[in-house]
Chains A and B, each alone.
Chain A
Amino acid sequence: MNIPIIALKKINKIFPLEIGGEQQVLFNITFTVNAGEFIAIMGPSGSGKSTCMNIIGALDSASNGTYELYGKDITTMTPDELATIRNEYIGFVFQNFNLLPKRNILDNVMLPLMYRGISVQDRIRRSREMLKLVGLEHFETYLPTQLSGGMKQRVAIARALSGNPKLILADEPTGSLDSKMGNEILSFFKKLNKDLGITIIMITHEFEIAQYARRVIHIYDGRITFDGPIPKNETVLLKSEQEHKK
């Protein structure tokens, strides 16, 4: 269980500002993630948690510091090498689903497999398995616009899983869903983590949602203020914020 798959060391992220100058949004972010963990990254809006997630997901690069994914230093990789890393190791689930609106459900789920160069038959077979896993096997010819929010998110999960990733990154996965649908999705994540051993890192600003995870990393003002097992209540996290302010 204790094999680190993600190792962030002193990651800083500085954005240039349009009006001139720059703004640092992450300060010395350092933590490791072991295979099979279910982590919630928490923090208020603008705390830098999404930026941190984007760096973990190889969608964005750190200004400095090192990031190793499965032992590979990806901070120095080219955009195409990062595309391969995303394709082979990571499955993304976004708050707004990010499905291709003019492609049917099956095409959407097959997308990562197409870029991996998998044969059409294997793509279809694998994608149908994933659609069955999320309970949408009868909707493969539907367009995303014909589905409810919860169904769309399940399609997004099927797409994230189709490439058989070791890691799923979910950015506010229930943000666009009602609480019933949200709980369904979170339970499904828990099941994936428990049964298939998939590592899940989920961003949320709600403590209730974070409770589905086993570990929480709290980010405030670009710095980690808490990293440990989910506390019994949110006060511990808020306290860590206060301590940082001092």
Chain B
Amino acid sequence: MTLGDILKESWLSISGNKLRSFLTVLGIIIGVMAVVIMVAVGETVQKSITDQFSSLGTNTIVIRAGAARRGGVRSGNRQTLTITDAEQIQKLPDVMSITPAQSGSAQVIYGNKNWSTLMLGTYPDYTAIQDIEMDKGNFFDMNAVKVAATYAVIGPDTARELALPDNPVGEIIRIQNMPFVIIGVMKARGDSAFGSQDDMIIIPITTLKKRLQGSPFPDSVSMIALKIYQDADNAVVTDQIGTLLRQRHRLKDGDEDDFQITDMKQIMETMDTVTGYLKLLLIAIAAVSLLVGSIGIMNMMLVSVVERTREIGVRKAVGAKEKVIIIQFLSESVLISFIGSMFGLVLGVGLAQGVGRFILKYDVPFSIWPVILSVSVAVVVGLASGVVPAIKAAKLNPIDSLRYE
């Protein structure tokens, strides 16, 4: 019996019972389609989260003030960090760029437009840490920080809301009634994990602390953000910063940190693990429908063996060996499963890509895994669901089969 004979016999048997074969194939189509779509959904979610975090850079470390426990109460707003802390941290060998930062809300006026937005006081290094590119004009430099210049760099959304001219560089806006010169407009960056990055005003931190807030502690800041060299170890630098800050803040052994260090790499790894589990969960749910589909094949094959008992008897009477009967029934179940898997794969990929690209307008990553998965499923499900019926068929006694009514 050649491979051609096996395929022909299988095809004739499957096509001989079109409706039943179609319904059986449908089970596998739905199963494989569900798995393929779930893999795509999982990967899309994972990619989306990874993209958002990687826009911040994995070599970014953020230190926030506060979070020390006093009598069991978390006091997150205490401004325990200082610009001097940032200057000391900058001396660590692995630190590439650093900025202290203080945020606040600002009421901005230009002409007759009034807009409330996020205001951030930083160092010029903020551009390097956040990968900020300028659309027009420039970011302020360290001199502006030293003299607490009333310079402002604005986001494209803020510029639009204030109805600024096309090139707003040199225009005067009023923030909390203090005039500021716009020296640059940032390029649009879209949303990040921490909200819109395009509607904000960045000014020198000294200007914010001394001129706008008139703070009694002009040195204190709510946050320090830094970027370390690519080859540096995040964990080592985090430890060094922790030790340094504890010394500087004179914390005793047993005292809790009065700052929080957030390592983007660690967050990303955690998110990766979480989304990985999410993906596995989705695939597991989809796999259940695949399992149901394969039970459908086994059921059909078992019914088929009973229905074709006489046929099996005839085949054995004219010389079919047990092995040949097993191969024939297995190839039927594998062929059904293969046809179902291929349709399921095409439909699944088509739906995932179609819905993703044209309806959700999201770039769904195309993965080779569903293809490998579908082919493996075809073989494994086909073999697994066919093996019991095939052995049952092969072990039939020829004379009992011929007498079967």
List chain A positions with a Cβ less than 8 A from chain B: 54, 57, 59-60, 79-80, 83-84, 86-88, 92, 94, 98-100, 102-103, 111-112, 114-117, 120, 159, 163
| A227 to B317 Cα, complex, angstroms | 27
| A90 to B319 Cα, complex, angstroms | 9
CB pair A60–B322 under 8 Å, yes or no, is no
CB pair B321–A115 under 8 Å, yes or no, is yes
| A100 to B402 Cα, complex, angstroms | 12
B194 to chain A, nearest CB (A): 67
Q: Which of B5, B311, B323 contacts A80 (CB 8 A)?
A: B323
CB pair B319–A116 under 8 Å, yes or no, is yes
- Sample (6) of A-B pairs whose CB atoms are under 8 Å apart: A59-B399, A84-B321, A86-B318, A98-B313, A111-B314, A114-B1
| A59 to B313 Cα, complex, angstroms | 9
List residues of B (1-42) whose CB comes within 8 Å of A's CBs.
Answer: 1-2, 4-5, 12-13, 16
CB pair B319–A98 under 8 Å, yes or no, is no
User: Cβ of B232 < 8 Å from any Cβ of A?
Assistant: no
CB pair A102–B317 under 8 Å, yes or no, is no
Task: Tell me the nearest residue of chain B to A83, going by C-beta.
Answer: B321
Given known contacts A102-B12, A103-B12, A115-B324, A87 and B319 CB-to-CB distance under 8 angstroms: yes
User: Cβ of B320 < 8 Å from any Cβ of A?
Assistant: yes
Q: Across the interface, which residues of A come within 8 angstroms of B322, CB to CB?
A: 79-80, 83
| A117 to B16 Cα, complex, angstroms | 25
List chain B positions with a Cβ less than 8 A from chain A: 1-2, 4-5, 12-13, 16, 310-311, 313-324, 397-399, 402
Q: Across the interface, which residues of B come within 8 angstroms of A116, CB to CB?
A: 319
CB pair A83–B316 under 8 Å, yes or no, is yes
CB pair B319–A120 under 8 Å, yes or no, is no
B82 to chain A, nearest CB (A): 88
Task: Tell me the nearest residue of chain B to A97, going by C-beta.
Answer: B314
Q: Across the interface, which residues of A come within 8 angstroms of B13, CB to CB?
A: 102
Task: Tell me the nearest residue of chain B to A99, going by C-beta.
Answer: B314
| A98 to B322 Cα, complex, angstroms | 19
- Of all A-B residue pairs in the complex, the 5 with the closest CB atoms, nearest first, are A87-B319, A115-B319, A112-B318, A59-B399, A102-B16
Given known contacts A59-B399, A98-B402, A88 and B319 CB-to-CB distance under 8 angstroms: yes
Q: Across the interface, which residues of A come within 8 angstroms of B397, CB to CB?
A: 60
CB pair B314–A100 under 8 Å, yes or no, is yes
CB pair B314–A115 under 8 Å, yes or no, is no
Q: Across the interface, which residues of B come within 8 angstroms of A92, CB to CB?
A: 317-318
A186 to chain B, nearest CB (A): 22
B67 to chain A, nearest CB (A): 77
CB pair B318–A111 under 8 Å, yes or no, is yes
CB pair A60–B399 under 8 Å, yes or no, is yes
Q: Across the interface, which residues of B come within 8 angstroms of A84, CB to CB?
A: 319, 321
CB pair B319–A117 under 8 Å, yes or no, is no
B188 to chain A, nearest CB (A): 67
CB pair B314–A98 under 8 Å, yes or no, is yes
CB pair A80–B318 under 8 Å, yes or no, is no
B190 to chain A, nearest CB (A): 62
